[in-house]
């Protein structure tokens, strides 16, 4: 027998689960049944694809099942399966250690809200440990398929765990795992057959394998006028591949139950799309959109939630080949009749059948989302609040569906409250307007107060507010929406759309001052020129069409991007501003020198770019203040 300590993070996890998540302790059964289902899936797949495991066929593994055995008197429950099983090494790595960084994410994301935190248990793959909410001791007896030894893992969830090899009556005669739970006082409520059946139907009704419950059933004996107990075994779940049933047979509640069974989510999904394709390719898809975006959606180790089946045989559930990365929030099932059972991740990347299924599935999801946006705008808005950003990622990576994505994405605007579509913004444009305009480069409040918007407000032209940090990168690659150009107001070319008739005359009058400002700033700017986009501010910086803005460049450098070419902004000066008019009237060399740098530095600050030399900025500001006073 070997006695070992839990990994540090498991210790933390157990303490938090036991002491913080008592609001929904019933999830322990959902998680253990899910683990058994995964073990059965894995063994069934291996017996079809690997010679080592094909030899096991005929040894009693042909009828995969999950068994619950209840002992009400001794307050114990045993959950058994005929799955892949574990050896000693597996027990240590699976039940004593958590390798995935998601565990740290789980610990970091605990909010104190028990309902939300219970949901996290399923999301982060730490479900086995939920058993210690209801158990004073847990014994896991297991034998790995293809091996002879049976091992027992024992723990009270506090002082580490013990592993020993067992034989005789304790040894398993076939592969699989049994989890014996000794209920504590809090868990005693689950030593009840009716309660167990209720939980299984709630969370695990559509698990693909039959779940049997063995318990003492009370029956009334009319002759003896007394109640007697009989040990019975009953199947307590539907055990069907729900997605293969016709939609006409399924109720809304069936879809919701299945979603919760495969995701561990507490909340109902926002909506779902169930499709059966027949013809050249035969496959079934059932896709769900969760009500809330997963907390780790933007983390590098995030795993997608689509399960791949071939002829109802589970193959894998974390392959990035099943859907594009920008749709990683979608949950559900793809079941193909045409893929080989021994398909691997490497084969998936080149498989024409999967490529066709993936292409059709993406179009189906996006077209269904568009239908929802028209039929139920209120529900679609809830979707946008959670998933607008991933859709934007699709603009950059999925050129084939760009037009459809542009219709699905929503935008903030200077004209309307909340969100608007490009179609609605296009319908509102003025007859003489040459493009749809947008602004990027900061938070919503910063962008709305940007001097770049002044002339658009004055001319009553709508500008879309793109305040996600990916917007500048994404939308720089999108030139048009239909036949209408999309233009960034912080790009130099946009000013051509706004010039008044007297702009050439103003530019000529301003030319001597611009030359002095340009000489004062030297290599700090690419060009100094008059602006037609300013109404109230004296200056602003813009970038050329194919260059990142000063703010974007600063962000990329802050993230460690090396070797970026030196890019210089364009400084635009407002010829109608009082400061500029005074400089024109009295263009003294010292005055222009300080004014030039102050005009440039304040434009940088408004863009959200920190100054390279704040000391010089303060000194200039003090000189100008002193002269003014």
Does residue 322 belong to any structural domain of this protein?
A: yes
Specify whether 186 is located in the same domain as 136.
yes
Nearest C-alpha neighbor of 308 from the set 334, 281, 277 = 334
How far is Cα 141 from Cα 404, in angstroms, rounded to an integer?
Answer: 53
How far is Cα 539 from Cα 319, in angstroms, rounded to an integer?
Answer: 51
How far is Cα 474 from Cα 171, in angstroms, rounded to an integer?
Answer: 59
Specify whether 75 is located in the same domain as 161.
yes
Give every strand in the sheet of 226-235, ordered side by side.
2-4, 161-166, 150-155, 135-143, 176-183, 76-81, 66-71, 211-221, 226-235
Does residue 347 belong to any structural domain of this protein?
A: yes
- CATH label of the domain that carries residue 290: 3.30.230.80
Compute the C-alpha angle 91/78/185, nearest 5°: 100
- Where is 194: in which H helix or E strand? helix 193-203
**Domain boundary, last residue among 202, 235, 268:** 235
DSSP 101: T
Mean predicted confidence (pLDDT) in 530-551: 78
Specify whether 101 is located in the same domain as 216.
yes
CB-CB contact of 514 with 530 (8 Å): yes
What's the token pair of residue 98?
């958590």
How far is Cα 410 from Cα 426, in angstroms, rounded to an integer?
Answer: 13
Which segments within 536-620 are labelled E, that is strand?
A: 539-542, 570-573
Specify whether 10 is located in the same domain as 151.
yes
Strands 161-166 and 76-81 come out as: unpaired
pLDDT tens-digit map of 371-380: 999 999 999 9
Specify whether 48 is located in the same domain as 194.
yes
The DSSP secondary structure of 263-317, one letter per residue, reads H--SSPPSEEEEEEE-SSS-EEEEEEE-SS--TTTTSTT---EEEEEETTEEEES
Does residue 408 belong to any structural domain of this protein?
A: no
Which three-class secondary structure string do you get for 556-572?
HHHCCCCCCCCCCCEEE
User: Lowest mean pLDDT: which of 267-276, 304-313, 347-356, 581-590?
Assistant: 581-590
Give me Rg for the CA atoms of the chain.
33
pLDDT tens-digit map of 102-137: 445 555 655 555 445 545 544 444 578 888 889 999
The three-class DSSP label of residue 374 is: helix
Does residue 9 belong to any structural domain of this protein?
A: yes
Range of the domain at 220: 2-235
* 233 to 176, 211, 236, 488, 625: CA distances (angstroms): 19, 10, 9, 68, 90
**Domain boundary, last residue among 235, 254, 279:** 235
How far is Cα 190 from Cα 209, in angstroms, rounded to an integer?
Answer: 22
Does residue 142 belong to any structural domain of this protein?
A: yes
Mean predicted confidence (pLDDT) in 248-269: 89
pLDDT tens-digit map of 3-48: 787 766 666 667 666 665 545 788 889 889 988 988 998 898 888 8
Q: Is the pLDDT of residue 463 over 70?
A: yes
CB-CB contact of 217 with 229 (8 Å): yes
Specify whether 572 is located in the same domain as 617.
yes
Compute the C-alpha angle 69/74/76, nearest 5°: 40
- CATH label of the domain that carries residue 620: 1.20.120.790
- CATH label of the domain that carries residue 144: 3.30.565.10
User: Lowest mean pLDDT: which of 77-81, 547-551, 614-618?
Assistant: 547-551
Mean pLDDT of the chain: 84
Q: Is the pLDDT of residue 623 over 50?
A: yes
Does residue 296 belong to any structural domain of this protein?
A: yes
Does residue 382 belong to any structural domain of this protein?
A: no
pLDDT tens-digit map of 541-600: 888 766 666 666 656 665 555 656 667 888 988 888 898 888 888 777 678 888 889 999
Does residue 109 belong to any structural domain of this protein?
A: yes
Compute the C-alpha angle 247/290/119, nearest 5°: 120
Nearest C-alpha neighbor of 506 from the set 433, 432, 574, 421 = 574
In the chain the first and final C-alpha atoms are separated, in Å, by: 86
Specify whether 228 is located in the same domain as 247.
no
Specify whether 101 is located in the same domain as 195.
yes
239 band by pLDDT with thresholds 50, 70 and 90: confident
Q: Indicate the number of domains in the chain.
A: 3
Q: Tell me how far the alpha carbon of residue 379 is from its chain's centroid.
A: 19
Specify whether 525 is located in the same domain as 618.
yes
Specify whether 65 is located in the same domain as 209.
yes
Specify whether 73 is located in the same domain as 205.
yes
Specify whether 135 is located in the same domain as 261.
no
**Domain boundary, last residue among 375, 410, 440:** 375
How far is Cα 121 from Cα 128, in angstroms, rounded to an integer?
Answer: 9
């Amino acid at each position: 027998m070997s006695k070992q300590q839990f990994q540090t993070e498991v210790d933390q996890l157990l303490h938090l689960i036991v002491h913080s998540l008592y609001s929904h302790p019933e999830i322990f059964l959902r998680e253990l049944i899910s683990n058994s289902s995964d073990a059965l899936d894995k063994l069934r797949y291996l017996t079809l694809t690997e010679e080592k495991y094909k030899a096991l066929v005929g040894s009693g593994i042909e009828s995969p099942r999950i068994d619950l055995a209840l002992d009400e008197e001794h307050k114990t429950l045993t959950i058994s399966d005929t799955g892949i099983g574990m050896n000693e090494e597996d027990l240590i790595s699976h039940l004593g250690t958590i390798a995935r960084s998601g565990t740290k994410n789980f610990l970091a994301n605990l909010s104190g809200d028990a309902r939300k935190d219970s949901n996290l248990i399923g999301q982060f793959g730490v479900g086995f440990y939920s058993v210690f909410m209801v158990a004073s001791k847990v014994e896991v007896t297991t034998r790995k398929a293809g091996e002879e030894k049976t091992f027992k893992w024992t723990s009270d969830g506090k002082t580490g765990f013990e592993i020993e090899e067992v034989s005789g009556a304790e040894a398993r005669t076939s592969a699989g795992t049994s989890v014996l739970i000794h209920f504590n006082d809090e868990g005693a409520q689950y030593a009840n057959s009716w309660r167990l059946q209720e939980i299984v139907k709630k969370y695990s009704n559509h698990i693909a394998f039959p779940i049997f419950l063995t318990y003492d059933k009370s029956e009334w004996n009319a002759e003896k006028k007394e109640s007697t107990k009989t040990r019975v075994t009953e199947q307590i779940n539907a055990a069907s591949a729900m997605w293969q049933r016709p939609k006409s047979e399924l109720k809304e509640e069936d879809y919701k139950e299945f979603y919760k069974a495969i995701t561990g989510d507490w909340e109902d999904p926002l909506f779902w799309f169930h499709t059966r394709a027949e013809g050249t390719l035969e496959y079934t898809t059932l896709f769900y959109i969760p009500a809330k975006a997963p907390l780790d959606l933007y983390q590098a180790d995030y795993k997608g939630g689509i399960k791949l089946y071939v002829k109802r045989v589970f193959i894998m559930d974390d392959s990035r080949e099943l859907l594009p990365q920008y749709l990683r929030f979608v949950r559900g099932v793809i079941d193909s009749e045409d893929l080989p059972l021994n398909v691997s991740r490497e084969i998936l990347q080149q498989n024409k059948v999967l490529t066709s299924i993936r292409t059709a599935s993406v179009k189906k999801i996006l077209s269904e989302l568009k239908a929802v946006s028209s039929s139920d705008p209120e529900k679609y808005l809830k979707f946008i609040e959670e998933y607008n950003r991933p859709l934007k990622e699709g603009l950059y990576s999925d050129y084939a569906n760009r037009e459809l994505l542009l219709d699905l994405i929503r935008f903030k605007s200077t004209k309307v409250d909340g969100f608007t579509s490009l179609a609605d913004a296009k319908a509102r444009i003025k007859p003489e307007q040459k493009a749809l305009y947008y602004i990027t480069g900061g938070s919503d409040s910063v962008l709305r107060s940007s001097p770049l918007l002044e002339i658009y407000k004055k001319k009553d032209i709508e500008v879309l507010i793109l305040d996600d940090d990916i917007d500048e990168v994404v939308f720089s690659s999108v030139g048009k929406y239909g036949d209408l150009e999309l233009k960034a107001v912080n790009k130099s070319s946009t000013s051509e759309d706004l010039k008044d008739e007297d702009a050439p005359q103003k530019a000529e009058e301003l030319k001597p001052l611009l030359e002095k400002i340009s000489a004062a700033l030297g290599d700090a700017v690419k060009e100094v020129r008059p602006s037609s986009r300013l109404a109230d501010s004296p200056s602003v910086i813009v970038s050329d069409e194919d260059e990142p803005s000063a703010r974007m460049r600063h962000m990329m450098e802050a993230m460690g991007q090396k070797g970026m070419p030196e890019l210089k902004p364009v400084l635009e000066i407002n010829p109608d501003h009082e400061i500029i008019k005074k400089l024109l009237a009295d263009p003294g060399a010292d005055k222009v020198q300080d004014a030039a740098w102050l005009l440039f530095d304040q434009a940088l600050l408004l863009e959200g770019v920190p100054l390279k030399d704040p000391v010089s900025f303060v000194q200039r500001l003090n000189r100008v203040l002193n002269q003014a006073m």
